[in-house]
Structure 1
Amino acid sequence: MNGESDYGLWTIVILHSAIFIFFAFSFIKPKTSIDWRSLGAFSAFIVALFTEMYGFPLTIYLLSGWLTERYPGINFYSHEKGHLLHTLLGFEGNAHFDPLHIASNVLIVSGFILMASAWSQLHRAQQAGNVATTGWYARCRHPQYLAFIVIMFGFLLQWPTIPTVVMFPILVVVYVRLAKREEQQALLQFGEQYRAYVSDTPAWFPRLFKKTSEDA
């Protein structure tokens, strides 16, 4: 690596990864195998992200020839220039205050709020032996998995890397499959009640307004 490097900070990699995984763990409180799989997929993404953010910048290393040729004089091994989209899109000033970074923070925070709310509603319904149909579950059928996707996309806007860009669509497919498996189990358990819920509620894109009895 040429010049000063802000990487090799493995303690920060472990600390940041542990914090975000713990947040997710505390919100979803995994109980079933599906819960653990969803958390595991998210954890893999987080570890890959912070490994490149503070540990070893694999993406910058692989693209170093092209980056050096196109942006001479820029030390991409400094943490500030590691925000690749900031440089590639021609933003000026501190990368932490560009539109992408601000949008990233909004998505990440919103995703964790959605996650906390959705899993709380789901677990209350599970304990009562009912279909979760209140709160975010009145707006879409899979807000818990949507939260993971929103958070990961937020991190991609902030710090895209080759591994996370490759992982993201794969993990979206994983969450879609987990959602389908969960729905099959719900159909077996709740039958017509869940079929009615499916026919009345979108799967992934939340409706902005809850339906009232007059809309039915």
Structure 2
Amino acid sequence: MHGGSAYGLWMLVILNSAIFIFIAFSFTTPKTKTDWRSLGAFSAFIVALFTEMYGFPLTIYFLSGWLAENYPGIDFLSHDNGHLLHTLLGLEGNAHWDPLHIASNVLIILGFFLLSAAWSVLHKAQQTHSLATSGWYARCRHPQYIAFILIMFGFLLQWPTLPTLVMFPVLVVVYVRLAKREEKMAIKEFGDEYLRYMEATPAWIPKISVDKKQTI
């Protein structure tokens, strides 16, 4: 028997989705069309995630035959067993304290920290119509998109679903394209200054150390 209240908790779907979208919104305070597109893509992922986590477990129903055959005796409609990686990998104990879930929480927290720090620098630069090259922007050119990717990957570690597994690589491509579009706009606006910044700063893999005397 599984608990009847494990799913169908639509108020939790709405509440959790609203909380994480609001946090992302408050950290990014989107102003441009690109800002809204990046936040919108992230919001779609969050809604899909919590819909399956608390609303309707589409992935579990879709895989129910395979799960029942390979994991007999396990009630996958129990909320704890919705942590599919915990069960499929044969991990024991509370799923909320396994290595995957801990790593997930670390990635999510780091992602939101990076998102806040990166957008603070970016918006200050936008207000002064200057190039953002300090803080995390001194380490990589697209820290805000790296942050969104870290958060989404963190959620995938603790609660993978078929929709979010499909959405994740698609959204990564979306962010890469948005980043390239932003760079074209930055080259038009800042010219050689941005080209020098591109030469000195990696796009996606942050530099471990930054030379404070480095000039762009």
State TM-score, norm by structure 1: 0.97
Question: What residue in structure 1 maps to residue 193 of structure 2?
Answer: 193
The alignment yields a C-alpha RMSD, in angstroms, of 1.4
1:137-156 matched pairs, under 5 angstroms: 137-156=137-156
Give matches, 1:10-21, under 5 Å. 10-21=10-21
For 1:92, what is the secondary structure of its paired residue?
A: coil
For residues 109-158 of structure 1, the C-alpha deviation after alignment (integer angstroms, 9 at most, x for no partner) is 00000000000000001111110000000000000011000000000001
Q: Which residue of 2 aligns with 1:37?
A: 37
Match of 2:60 in 1: 60
**Structure 2: runs of 5 or more not aligned:** none
Corresponding position of 2:3:
4
Partners of 1:163 and 1:71 lie apart in 2 by: 22
Any idea what the Cα deviations from partners look like across 1:145-195, whole Å, max 9, x if unmatched? 110000000000010000000000000000000000000000000000000
Q: Give the drift of 1:4.
A: 3.0
CA distance in 2 between partners of 1:15 and 1:123 (Å):
28
The structural deviation recorded for 1:47 is 0.1
* Distance in 2 (alpha carbons) for counterparts of 1:31 and 1:78: 42
**Structure 1 residue 213, shift from structure 2 partner:** 3.3
Matching residue of 1:97: 97
Q: Deviations over 1:1-52 (max 9, x none)?
A: x743400000000000000000000000000000000000000000000000
Aligned length: 215
Segments of 5+ residues of structure 1 without an aligned counterpart are none
* Percent of residue pairs identical: 71
What is residue 106 of structure 1 aligned with on the other side? Answer: 106
Structure 2 CA distance for aligned equivalents of residues 189 and 7 of structure 1: 50
Distance 2:124 2:54 in 1: 38
- The superposition leaves residues 66-95 of structure 1 with CA deviations (integer Å, 9 ceiling, x where unpaired) of 111111111100110000000001100000
* 1:31 alignment partner, SS class: coil
